[in-house]
Structure 1
């Protein structure tokens, strides 16, 4: 009879371990979509930051060209070459206008990246909640030790290796 008690306890322990493992797998599966979404959001944030930096660099170059062209137009005006000076001023204005448009786009990319960065934490919270919910569905008893009452006297688990 003690062998039956031992076998029953071992079977219960094995079932408990199997349920805990199944709960862990269910938790990982449930959290995976949120982890993947976070990775996609991080990638989008990096892309937006890269776009903002590229545009900001281009804006700096365009503004520099516009200022240089404005200086050249002033020099042309001092030399009484008003037609050339006027043409250069128009070109400088166009360059500055293009730089301002690109600067606006760069700021937009920067804002999108900052908004994405601000929302990254929610993915971890949702992943944890989904994992907890899935683990509880599979193992409602939780992750604690197996709590079984001791067998009534005179029964007790037989030692391993005994045949009686």
Structure 2
């Protein structure tokens, strides 16, 4: 189990803060709760906190690695590479959170003090996973439940309609 690391979001004026680590993707229970077994897939992550050029408290979230997903086309597991880099602004009250003054600015999160670094990394990973994960190209050999390979091509059920249309 990974020990928790925190960023003190209220004390960034004293200087930037940086934490990093590595975690097995299977330890990120919110991320992988509906995914296949993760094996030894690992995620390298880092979180740096600072005050930007317009005096906003910002966090830069980075993560690289892989997770095992289930293809929604063929229902087989496959490895999905993860490579995220995102900037997040820290605000201290809900009015700031909902302020639309800077539509081009970074996403905002609400935090009044200690922020669980790995929790934020896991949130960003969850957002990076496709809603419907699929292989680019599913494996060629599909098998029926009897264990026999599927036929290469099946006749189209609409072929008869095509022949009627030609008549």
Do the two structures share a fold, i.e. TM-score over 0.5? no
Which structure carries more helix by proportion? 1
Structure number with bigger Rg? 1
Normalising by structure 1, report the TM-score. 0.20
Which structure carries more strand by proportion? 2
Normalising by structure 2, report the TM-score. 0.20
Work out which structure has the larger RCO, using CA pairs closer than 8 Å and 6 or more positions apart in sequence.
1
